[in-house]
Amino acid sequence: MAETTYIEAITQAMAEEMARDERVFLIGEDVGAYGGAFKTSAGLLERFGAERVIDTPISEIAIVGAASGAALMGMRPIAEMQFIDFITCAYDMLVNFAATSRYRVGSSCPLVVRGPAGAGVHGGPFHSLSPEAMFMNRPGLKIVSPGTAYDAKGLLKAAIRDDDPVIYIEHKFLYRRIKENLPEEDYIVPLGKANVRRSGKDLTIVTWGAMIYVADEAADALAKDGVSVEVIDLRSILPFDEEAILTSVAKTNRAIILHEAPLTGGAGAEFAARIAEKAFDYLDAPIKRVASLDVPTPYSPPLEEYYLPNASKVLAAARELLAY
Amino acid sequence: MALETFGLTRDQLLDIDYYLRLTRTLEERLVAMFRQAKVIGGLYRSLGQEGESVAAAYALDYKQGDVVQPLIRNMGAILVAGATPSDIIKQYMAKGDSPTRGRELNIHFGHPERDGFIGQISMLGDMIPVMAGIALAGRMRKKNLVSLAFIGDGASSTGAFYEGMNFATVKKLPMVVVLENNGYAYSTPTANQTAARALADKAYAFGCASDTVDGNDVLATYGAVKRAVDHARSGGGVTLLEVITFRMKGHAEHDNAAYVPPELVEEWKGKDPLQRFERALVENHYASGEDFSRIQERVRREVDTATDEAERSPMPRGEEAAMGLYAGDGYWES
């Protein structure tokens, strides 16, 4: 069976859901005739027509707002941000309108907002965002961040079928670097469920998105020293799989949280706090966070490399914890 | 010259009068309850704006699936669409069996498909893109519905307004935007809100149709909105309709509006939409004082009954605050 790239998995998920459910449509900038800035929607216009693959003016508020209005009317919109950084332009609409709709007035607002996120491709300050933390403290949204092609497809399908608004963070660094054999048959990856990517007994790394590969690299290196690392790919940031985190920490007694967004106020702070509150007795060492620097994402490769987490930063943190 | 009624029958004209009276009486009741501390949050009057609120909403066809989105001074609009006085009083009183079960304030409620109206959020400009999405969904689902959004002189300064208007016009959506120029956004006069000569002139930037009407003339407003609705339904796209009116009270009950020149308020008192409408109906023999007395009696009875019902309603249980965020916990279905 043919290997599927991460980006093809996203395209397949959209196409299959649009074929399965006529309420599903795609709306965004350059998603139609051009097929999306990264060609994520290539072929969808030809297959589903301009009524369901909607090109818009450069108006993120209008894209997310119109998707929200349509969602209230029973549609299943997928709103594309050309780069996820531009979701900040629609922040108000998402956190005040879409996120609160069910809680405030009992109205389901099932839209998916998705777009290319993450650094490592020299996109600079405005094309490198990892936006999860800025939405975590605004209840009502769900947030997912796949790191594999399998999860990219399964999480997107689950997000489209979900009755609540979902922010789907796809990592552009992975688009064409990751290839996997995917099942032929329809499947979803349930929202809110982590994946134990690698089983181990000495140290837990909780991570997601492109950082799962950094965790793998660190885990391989530590394995050579006889250290057995458990890697939890969180996949869903909100709601998150607290049980998976706590179960792992109870087993390994050491935890690193690894994420690509800047350290301070990052999602890792929440997970660290949760471990401290609920698994303190199991810990043999402090909880460590490895994240990007607290600066905007710089453009030049040496700067960006210094800014981002990498395996050696994870190894340094791990060795510190293992010394306890 | 005969009164131009735009095809409205005598019964419909009296129906409009009923909604005008209902709006005013219900608000007066809410003011009394506010002073008795029975209203939990703020209270925002639509005095002087009942005419355009009711007239605009009356031009829609709810059986066709049309949707109206009010602002705080358009309570009359949602009454026309089907909201009940008891729903509204319960909302103000934050009751547990209010439409939002105590989660939301005043007229922030309603589902576009189920109710024919959708309450605004406080970031008012956001409602223009949302209403565009409702119109878009209607078209995708072959419903031939029209969405009607109210927006004010203040919120028409927001970015969301511009994005939403531009998007809706480009997509030629079946949408009517009633831009109320009521003189003030909180304390800011319209002249400090925009340097445009008229708010309707903003339509030139979008390329949509535009119109201007005296918002305190109920029938003229109905006629202008009806034209815009017909235009939208027949595929003509968006109309930006400026209604000229005046906010007769402060931003809310706590605001004495000392910043509004008293002579301006006096001038607009003479243009009260309800009095003008009833006078026109009498002068043109569509109605008599007896008709209005009967309507007022009915309205008083309905508002009394609604007040009793709302007062008897329970407050929500505190622990409900943790429920109903996501689908699946059964809260909204119970």
User: What class, spelled out in words, does domain A3-181 have in CATH?
Assistant: alpha beta
How many percent of chain B have pLDDT more than 90? Answer: 99
- Helical pair A267-278 and A242-252, crossing angle rounded to 10 deg: 60
Which of A122, A127, A171, A259 is an active site residue? A127
CB contact under 8 A, A68 and B328: no
Nearest to B42 by CA among B111, B115, B124, B122: B122
B334, part of any domain: no
A70 touches chain B (CB under 8 A): yes
CB contact under 8 A, A70 and B136: yes
- pLDDT digits over A115-164, tens only? 999 999 999 999 999 999 999 999 999 999 999 999 999 999 999 999 99
CA distance B135 to B140: 9
DSSP states of A33-86 as a string? TT--TTSTTTTHHHHH-TTTEEE--S-HHHHHHHHHHHHHTT-EEEEEPSSGGG
Give the burial string for B82-114 (b: 16+ CB within 10 Å, else e): ebebbbbbbbbbbbebbbbbbbbbbbbbbbbbe
Smallest Cβ distance to A57: which of B136, B138, B166? B166
Q: Looking at residue A1, what is its pLDDT?
A: 56
Q: Where in chain A is the domain with CATH 3.40.50.970?
A: 3-181
B3, part of any domain: no
A106 touches chain B (CB under 8 A): yes
B271, part of any domain: yes
Measured CA to CA in angstroms, residue A227 lies from A30, A217, A230, A283, A318 at distances of 48, 13, 10, 17, 10
CA distance A174 to A214: 12
B138, part of any domain: yes
CA distance B311 to B29: 13
* Torsional class of B65: left (φ above 0), alpha (ψ -120 to 50), beta (otherwise): left
B160 within 8 A of B133, measured Cβ to Cβ: no
- Is A171 among the catalytic positions? no
CA distance A167 to A130: 12
A140 touches chain B (CB under 8 A): yes
CB contact under 8 A, A68 and B324: no
CA closest to A161 among chain B residues: B327
A236 touches chain B (CB under 8 A): no
Question: Which residues from A are below 8 Å from B134, CB to CB?
Answer: 69-70, 72-73
B234 band by pLDDT with thresholds 50, 70 and 90: very high
> For residue A231, what is the enclosing H or E element?
strand A229-233
State the smallest CA–CA distance between residue A136 and chain B in angstroms. 14
CB contact under 8 A, B133 and A59: no
Flag whether pLDDT at B1 surpasses 80: no
Q: For residue A286, give the amino acid letter.
A: P
Residues present in chain A in total: 324
Q: What is the DSSP letter of B303?
A: H
Flag whether pLDDT at B48 surpasses 70: yes
B214, part of any domain: yes
The answer for residues whose C-beta is within 8 angstroms of residue A5's C-beta and 6 or more apart is A149, A175, A176, A178, A179
CATH of region A195-322: 3.40.50.920
> For residue B189, what is the enclosing H or E element?
strand B188-189
Q: Looking at residue B334, what is its pLDDT?
A: 84
Q: What is the mean pLDDT of chain B?
A: 97
CA distance A320 to B73: 62
State the smallest CA–CA distance between residue A273 and chain B in angstroms. 21
CA distance B43 to B46: 10
Q: Where in chain A is the domain with CATH 3.40.50.920?
A: 195-322
Question: Which residues from A are below 8 Å from B327, CB to CB?
Answer: 102, 108, 162-164
B321, part of any domain: no
State the smallest CA–CA distance between residue A225 and chain B in angstroms. 45
ipTM of model: 0.97
| Residue pLDDT tens, chain A, 324 long | 579 999 999 999 999 999 999 999 999 999 999 999 999 999 999 999 999 999 999 999 999 999 999 999 999 999 999 999 999 999 999 999 999 999 999 999 999 999 999 999 999 999 999 999 999 999 999 999 999 999 999 999 999 999 999 999 999 999 999 999 999 999 999 999 999 999 999 999 999 999 999 999 999 999 999 999 999 999 999 999 999 999 999 999 999 999 999 999 999 999 999 999 999 999 999 999 999 999 999 999 999 999 999 999 999 999 999 999
Q: Residue ranges of the alpha helices (H) in B96-210? A: 112-115, 127-140, 159-170, 190-193, 202-206
Q: Which of residues 91-120 of B touch A (CB under 8 A)?
A: 99-101, 103-104, 108-113, 118-119
Domain span holding position B176: 10-310
What total of structural domains would you count in chain B? 1
Nearest to A242 by CA among A218, A212, A217, A277: A277
Q: For residue B23, give the amino acid letter.
A: T
Backbone φ and ψ for B76, nearest 5 degrees, come out as: -60, -30
> A109 in helix, strand or coil?
coil
Smallest Cβ distance to B327: which of A52, A56, A102? A102
CATH of the domain at B245: 3.40.50.970
B182 within 8 A of B152, measured Cβ to Cβ: yes
Q: Looking at residue B2, what is its pLDDT?
A: 87
